[in-house]
A and B are shown apart, each in its own frame.
Chain A
Amino acid sequence: MRIRIAHVTAYHYDRPVKAVIQTLRLTPRAHDGQHILAWRVEVDGAARLSPGEDALGNRLHVLSAEGTLDSLGVRVEGEVEMLDTHGVVRGAVERFPETVFLRETPLTAPDEALCAFADAAASRGTRDRLALLHHLLEAIHREMTFDTEPTHAATTAAEAFALRRGVCQDLTHVFLAACRHLGIPARYVSGYFLRGDGVVVQEAGHAWAEAYVPALGWVGFDAANGISPTDAHVRVAIGLDYLGAAPVRGARTGGGAEALSVSLRIEQAAWQTQA
């Protein structure tokens, strides 16, 4: 399946900004089942982009701009050919042994309730790690409600779990916290998801998890949708948690208040489209 993505982020400042610096993780890499046909990241004239790579092998751009800016725009456009691998990720860049992904982070530290929840999911009589991970995925999908209201970017796994609510970021953090508590290496994935219901315009990118299964390697688990990723999941960046895979992290000098608008279209591309 061919997926076309157009993702525009625009910042408007109520007073001119003197300097902006951002790190962008908005460029996917290829791996088995994910073939990049075309990909472009562009910024407004005033800003510069310098490409690089982070510690985990994610494609990175450092955006910087100085002067007096009233606004800033980042445009991402691309087309990707996807194959369903049943969530198994092969051929991706791996810079570290999976043990690294057992590490707890402030966003994924479990509390007693989350540990008890993970232990309960693990005690359902299976010694098979893949089956256990699917139990966990189902349990989170069942227990937690998708809700954009109560959480924010800095909400921890334990906080979201206590609310039993959150967005894909929160559900993914809960999954990571539970996995690591059970001694299973797990990591955060940020990316794009082609909806199955024909809705093209979305409000935000997507996030899911990958957990390590010795016989298979890294396997994806999308807690928000309760499924393993399919050919509808475009994988962009990985991290220990949201912060490591965040599409945009930035800082600026001056500028007062900021208004952010995002326009995101994810659609199935027509076969005849030439990239």
Chain B
Amino acid sequence: MATAFDEMTGVPGATEVREAYVTLKRWLETTPRHLLDTRRSQAELFFRRIGITFAVYGEVEASERLIPFDIIPRVLLKREWEILERGLKQRVTALNRFLADIYGPRECLRAGVLPEDLVYRNPCFRLEMAGVKVPHDIYAHIAGIDVVRVDADTFYVLEDNVRTPSGVSYMLENREVMLRLFPELFEEHRVAPVEDYPDALLASLRSVAPAGAGRDPTVVLLTPGQYNSAFYEHSFLADKLGVELVEGPDLFVRDDVVCMRTTEGAKRVDVIYRRIDDDFLDPLVFRPDSVLGVAGLMSAYEAGNVTLANAVGTGVADDKAVYSYMPEIVRFFTGEEPILKNVPTWRCREREALAYVLDRLDELVVKEVNGSGGYGMLIGPHASRQEREQFRRKLRHAPDGFIAQPTLALSTCPTFVAEGMAPRHVDLRPFVLTGADGCRVVPGGLTRVALKEGSLVVNSSQGGGTKDTWVLDA
């Protein structure tokens, strides 16, 4: 594995500093350590007070915990961001056109852009959506695209998240905390604001309301409830958007119209920003044991009386086997060369690729095509022999379920750890909004950092932390 690129110094340990970090580095060197320590505890207190927690599945103790926040921001120059922004818009545009196509005319399948199997056999390709017309042909209204950097000029998309991507509340809270604790830093940097994300999100959601909704559509946020890992974010966003936070039992369907129970009687709902998975949306169509959804929701949706954001069936586009065809998908649907790179991917469903992967389990990262959150993943160079053998068996048993990628040297960013300041690997999840008037990306996103030395797993479910992300306006 190559040496990682450092966001602050370029080469790790070098004394020179990259343009974006000049002021920040000076500030870090001149601010007394005890003052930084005080600010770090204040930041933690702040997060505890607002109750921003994240439930971690599979751990008996500490099922809710604070995601560690690092006070050293991750900084991007405007010119770096502009390339990313163009690439993200291009990619999300292609993803939306791809979804509209596979649920519509299926031209990309006829043209052989990707194998039919990957779509038709994918459990996230929802048969119910075939032929359903969604407003403005938008399926992924909210996308979280995970990007990693390997050198000064090269960004790779690690994965596309177009189901119910989370993390945007951390982006907003991190900025708020930074503004409170380090006002002096914001005087010395022209940091592009992220605070208008909720307004932009609400505008996007309203713009896709059904034709019959009238001028002031009713938007709600549908949460699985307080036991969901991202419940904090759901209530935070509902509050910022100024919309009702509802659970399945708060809604009902009558004559193909979705209504919300309110103290003043039933109120028609036009747009549902749903943060529950397809499988749980409607017990009459998907899992019959779901108590989180709304019976009849799908028939109201198919009748065009309510908009779901994101649309049902987007999961087929962020499947990791489909991911491997994203360069072709971008070319086919935009007629342009992809601006953002795709990580080279071996599809274990292909015999030769599988043989290659089995030979190099100690070098590669192996992922489940349907996994997320860093679960079901093998990082070859860091895995024990036992873990590798376990994956070897899984791969032989069900190769279709896996892809493999080279272990990328994710860039590092200086981070406070127990021993002081040290480089730690980071990624970036920008949030791309799509509404009737096009795509919008709030400058920045959520930087996640792997706090363990050498670790490449940044997922909060796996002990990762977060940082504020700055895009410098000048």
Q: Do A and B bind each other?
A: yes
With A21-B295, A95-B130, A154-B289 in contact, do A251 and B284 touch (Cβ < 8 Å)?
A: yes
B120 partner, pick from A21, A48, A96, A251, beta carbons under 8 A: A96
In whole Å, how far is A69's beta carbon from the nearest beta carbon of chain B?
15
Contacts of B122 in A (CB 8 A): 103
Contacts of A54 in B (CB 8 A): 128
A37 and B81 alpha carbons, distance in the complex (Å): 67
Interface string of A13-35 (1 = CB under 8 A from B): 00000010111000000000000
With A21-B253, A66-B254 in contact, do A99 and B284 touch (Cβ < 8 Å)?
A: no
- A22 near B116 (CB under 8 angstroms)? no
Interface string of B167-197 (1 = CB under 8 A from A): 0000000000000000000000000000000
In whole Å, how far is A48's beta carbon from the nearest beta carbon of chain B?
8
A257 is an interface residue with CB less than 8 A from chain B: no
Name the residue of chain A whose CB is nearest to the CB of B249: A253
Contacts of A240 in B (CB 8 A): 127
A50 is an interface residue with CB less than 8 A from chain B: yes
Contacts of B130 in A (CB 8 A): 55, 95-96
The number of chain A residues touching the other chain, given as a range, is 20 to 34
With A96-B127, A249-B288 in contact, do A103 and B120 touch (Cβ < 8 Å)?
A: yes
A66 and B253 alpha carbons, distance in the complex (Å): 11
With A100-B127, A154-B289 in contact, do A19 and B117 touch (Cβ < 8 Å)?
A: no
Name the residue of chain A whose CB is nearest to the CB of B300: A62
Among residues 15 to 41 in chain B, which have CB atoms less than 8 Å away from a CB atom of chain A? none
B414 is an interface residue with CB less than 8 A from chain A: no
Interface string of B261-284 (1 = CB under 8 A from A): 000000000000000000000011
- B284 near A249 (CB under 8 angstroms)? yes
Contacts of A22 in B (CB 8 A): 284
Contacts of B116 in A (CB 8 A): 97, 99
- A253 near B289 (CB under 8 angstroms)? no
A176 is an interface residue with CB less than 8 A from chain B: no
- A97 near B128 (CB under 8 angstroms)? no
**Which secondary structure dominates chain B's binding surface?**
loop
A43 is an interface residue with CB less than 8 A from chain B: no
Among residues 78 to 109 in chain A, which have CB atoms less than 8 Å away from a CB atom of chain B? 95-97, 99-100, 102-105
A52 and B302 alpha carbons, distance in the complex (Å): 11
- B284 near A253 (CB under 8 angstroms)? no
In whole Å, how far is A167's beta carbon from the nearest beta carbon of chain B?
17
Scoring B116, B254, B288, B289 by chain A CB atoms within 10 A of each residue's CB, the highest score goes to B288
A36 is an interface residue with CB less than 8 A from chain B: no
Interface string of B79-123 (1 = CB under 8 A from A): 000000000000000000000000000000000000011001111
A249 and B283 alpha carbons, distance in the complex (Å): 8
Name the residue of chain B whose CB is nearest to the CB of A95: B130
A227 is an interface residue with CB less than 8 A from chain B: no
Contacts of A154 in B (CB 8 A): 288-289
Contacts of B127 in A (CB 8 A): 55-56, 95-96, 100, 240
A139 is an interface residue with CB less than 8 A from chain B: no
A52 and B117 alpha carbons, distance in the complex (Å): 29
A155 is an interface residue with CB less than 8 A from chain B: no
A151 is an interface residue with CB less than 8 A from chain B: no
- A100 near B296 (CB under 8 angstroms)? no
Name the residue of chain A whose CB is nearest to the CB of B126: A55
B255 is an interface residue with CB less than 8 A from chain A: yes
Name the residue of chain A whose CB is nearest to the CB of B303: A52
A268 is an interface residue with CB less than 8 A from chain B: no
Contacts of A251 in B (CB 8 A): 283-284, 295-296
A52 and B303 alpha carbons, distance in the complex (Å): 10
Among residues 279 to 307 in chain B, which have CB atoms less than 8 Å away from a CB atom of chain A? 283-285, 288-289, 295-296, 299
Contacts of B254 in A (CB 8 A): 19, 64, 66
B256 is an interface residue with CB less than 8 A from chain A: yes
A76 is an interface residue with CB less than 8 A from chain B: no
A243 is an interface residue with CB less than 8 A from chain B: yes
Contacts of A104 in B (CB 8 A): 123
A103 and B126 alpha carbons, distance in the complex (Å): 12
With A19-B252, A21-B253, A55-B127 in contact, do A99 and B121 touch (Cβ < 8 Å)?
A: yes
A250 is an interface residue with CB less than 8 A from chain B: yes
- A21 near B296 (CB under 8 angstroms)? yes
- A64 near B255 (CB under 8 angstroms)? yes
Scoring B120, B253, B283, B289 by chain A CB atoms within 10 A of each residue's CB, the highest score goes to B120
Contacts of B299 in A (CB 8 A): 23, 52, 62
Name the residue of chain B whose CB is nearest to the CB of A105: B123
- B296 near A97 (CB under 8 angstroms)? no
Name the residue of chain A whose CB is nearest to the CB of B123: A103
Contacts of A250 in B (CB 8 A): 284, 295
Q: Which 10 A-B pairs have the closest CB atoms?
A: A251-B295, A55-B127, A99-B120, A21-B296, A100-B120, A55-B128, A249-B284, A21-B295, A23-B284, A103-B121
Given contacts A19-B254, A105-B123, 9 further A-B pairs with CB under 8 A are A52-B299, A55-B128, A97-B120, A99-B116, A99-B120, A99-B121, A102-B117, A103-B120, A103-B123
11 contacts between A and B (CB under 8 A): A19-B254, A21-B295, A55-B131, A64-B254, A96-B120, A97-B116, A99-B116, A99-B121, A103-B120, A103-B121, A250-B284
